[in-house]
Structures are given as C-alpha cells and as structure tokens.
Amino acid sequence: METLAVVGAGSWGTALAIALAPKTTRLHLWVREHEIAETINRKRRNMAYLPDFPIPSNVEAFTGYEDCLHGAEMVVLAPPSHAMRRLVLYALPWLRADAILVSATKGLEENTHARMSEVITEVTSTAFQPRLAVLSGPSFAKEVAAGEPAALVVASRDADVARTVQEALSGNPLRLYTNDDPVGVELGASLKNVIAIAAGVCAGLGLGSNPRAALVSRGLAEITRLAVAMGGKPQTLAGLAGLGDLVLTCMGDLSRNRNLGIQLAKGLALGEILNGMTMVAEGVNTTFAALELAQSVGVEMPITAQMALVLKGQRTPEAALRELMERMPRPE
C-alpha cells in the first residue's frame, strides 16, 4: 500500500500508526492539536499520549484533513465515539469514494446509541456508499505500540473488504481474523466496557477470583443477549471481539473502565473521577445507552442496570452487589 491514513492521534490512534507503519510506504496521521502534530514530526513522539514509544519515520502528522487524506487508499478512523460523526463530516470532502474506511473506535454514539459503522455510513452515504470495515478485539494501546502480539477481528458485510483489510494490515504484531458480523463485533466492543466498570468495583471492594469469574461469565451472557436481539451472532460474542476483549478489559490493569470502577468502589463520585482522567472511559455513556437499547428490544441486563445506579450515585457498590446476588434464582 502506498498511503494509509489514521485519523485520530489519541493513545489508540497513535498505537495503530506505530503498528501499521511497516505495512505502507507513507502513513498520514491526523492530529487535532498543532503542538502535538509538530512534536510528532520533529521528535517522533506523541508526548501527550504515548511518550515512551518512538513513531516510525514514514509517519507524518497533519492537522488538515485535505493533506492527511490525500491519496489514502485506506483510512483508519480512531477518534473517541462522541467525535466520530463530526470528524467524518469534516473529512468527507477529502475522502476517496473508493477508499476503504476502517472504524477502530469502540463505543456507541451518545443520544442516538448508533454503532460507529452506522454513524460513518449515515454521514458518507450523502456522497457515496462506503466500503466499510470494523476493527476490534483485545488490544491495549500501550502493548500494541510496544510491538506485543495482538489478535484482532476485521468485520464487514462485504467479504472482499474484510479480506482486503486483513491482507493489508495483518502481520506482526497484529494478526487479523475476518468476520461477517459487524453488529456483534461493535456491540461486544462497546458493552464490555460496562462490565469492566463492574469488574473494577469488585477489585475496589477487595473481592477475590470467584466473584470476578462470575461477573465475566454473567456479563458475557447479557452482552450476548442484547447483541443477538440487535442482529448479531452469538458465536461472534464467544470470540475475540466478545469474550477476548471482555476478559482483557475486566482483568487488565491498563483498562480505563476497570480503573474507574475501582475509584467508584473507594467512594469517589463519578464527576470527580472523570475530571481526573485525561482519556475517555467509554463505558460510562455506554451503560445508559445499553439500558435504553435493552429496553427497546425487551432484553434484561441486570449488571448493566446496577452499574447505571452506581454511576448516578443512587446506589452504593455494596448495595448493587447485594441486589445482584439476591435476585430470584433461575436456570442458567
């Protein structure tokens, strides 16, 4: 590939730029802040997000969409979920209609609760029908930037698009598997953040392995219920984009959502925790979006419901745990 663009230079976008740079002659990285772009181009570091990892010499940072997207055959979109619609709208005049767009963002759009592929399709379809794929799976940005192996899923309704992305981007340190279920992949990627907050609450309360194993198992069950009700496939949630990402986010110390849950268990208010974070914890907004989606399709999500009450300060973590344990017994 001659030119690959990555749009979004937070920790995940920067990590992807580092990992994917060997797959292309030129990698263009769109950065919102001029200072960060200049530092990347001069010092080969993103000092704001991943200062410990050198950025390859064939990566060039831009703050303008026209320059960043010029000649890009493939565009990886990696902003926070709340910024996706605005970003694609601004970039649209310079996106090639024949370019493959790859959504690498995990989360649901606030208010509409749309998946990122739905947001991208809605915006771009005013100009062209996008060739679109979704990239997801268990992947902490720091470990990807460090070159540690990671197995991911590239999902698309168009098998040719999925294979093209797989062939173009797969290879050490990333191994990509194709999938034809973007609904299941995106919902698994989003909803696992809610369960990760609950996992953090368990850790913050000093609970051991038994409750954590139960949480992951029952969390996967309610994620799967909602994903299937929304059109996803159950086998997708048993794979990398479901179980794999869930285990990583619930157990890994680098998980922002898990760390947020730990702080909640220590008695800190949500606003106080968020004010102290430099990066987005997608699970907060996703919790409330998931509940509304579940209600719309008649699916029960007890862990998510309890986390919503804890996040709103209407229930203590201890009371939420007690409520879950005292629910009416039922078959698995």
Residues 188 and 320 in one domain: yes
In a domain, 251, yes or no: yes
Contact present, 120 and 105 (Cβ < 8 Å): no
Task: Say if residue 219 is in the same domain as residue 319.
Answer: yes
Number of folded domains that form the chain:
2
Q: Does the residue 69 lie in any domain?
A: yes
Q: Give the mean pLDDT of the chain.
A: 95
Does residue 316 sit within a domain? yes
Please indicate, yes or no, whether residues 279 and 217 belong to a single structural domain of this protein: yes
Question: What is the Rg, in whole angstroms, of the alpha carbon atoms belonging to the chain?
Answer: 19
Q: Please count the other Cβ atoms lying within 10 Å of the Cβ belonging to residue 302.
A: 14
Shared-domain flag, residues 65 and 175: yes
Whether residues 187 and 294 fall in one domain: yes
CATH code assigned at 314: 1.10.1040.10
Instruction: Let me know whether 208 and 166 are in one domain.
Output: no
**Residue 331 located in a structural domain:** no
Bridge-based pairing state of the strands 150-155 and 131-136: antiparallel
Cα dihedral angle (167, 2, 97, 104), rounded to 10 degrees? Answer: 50
**pLDDT on residue 276:** 84
| C-alpha 130, offset from chain centre | 20
CATH number of 25's domain = 3.40.50.720
Helices 182-204 + 283-297 axis angle, to 10: 120
C-alpha pair distances (Å), 270 with each of 187, 206, 257, 277: 24, 20, 12, 11
137 shares a domain with 23: yes
Phi, psi at 315, each rounded to 5°: -150, 140
Nearest partner of 144 among 51, 45, 15, judged by Cα: 15
Confidence category of residue 280, pLDDT binned at 50, 70, 90: low
Q: Identify whether residues 25 and 162 lie together within a single domain.
A: yes
Residues 33 and 166 occupy one common structural domain: yes
In order, the DSSP letters of 237-279 are HTSIIIIIHHHHHHH-TT-HHHHHHHHHHTT--HHHHHHT-SS
> Which of 131, 148, 180 is where one domain is finished?
180
Q: What is the mean pLDDT of residues 166-183?
A: 96
Whether 156 and 305 map to the same domain: the answer is: no
Establish if 225 belongs to a structural domain. Answer: yes
**Of residues 305 and 278, which shows the higher confidence score?**
305
Report whether pLDDT(217) > 90: yes
The model's pLDDT over 68-95, given as tens digits with 9 standing for 90+, comes to 999 999 999 999 999 999 999 999 999 9
How far apart are the C-alpha atoms of 309 and 332, rounded to whole Å? Answer: 25
Statement to judge: residues 171 and 202 lie in one domain = no
Give the whole-angstrom CA distance, residue 280 versus residue 287: 14
What order of strands is seen across the sheet that includes strand 174-179? 59-62, 26-30, 3-7, 74-77, 100-103, 131-136, 150-155, 174-179
pLDDT band for position 320 (50/70/90)? very high
Listed residue (55, 1, 44, 61) closest to 25, CA to CA: 1
Mean pLDDT of 174-184: 98
- pLDDT (tens digit per residue) in 2-54: 999 999 999 999 999 999 999 999 999 999 999 999 999 999 999 999 999 99
Q: Which domain holds residue 81?
A: 3-180
Please give the C-alpha separations between residue 182 and each of 73, 154, 227, 241, 317, in angstroms, as whole numbers.
21, 8, 11, 10, 33
* Contact status, residue 63 vs residue 34, Cβ threshold 8 Å: yes
Residue 289 and residue 170 share a domain: no
Q: Which residues are catalytic?
A: 192
- The answer to whether residue 153 is domain-embedded is yes
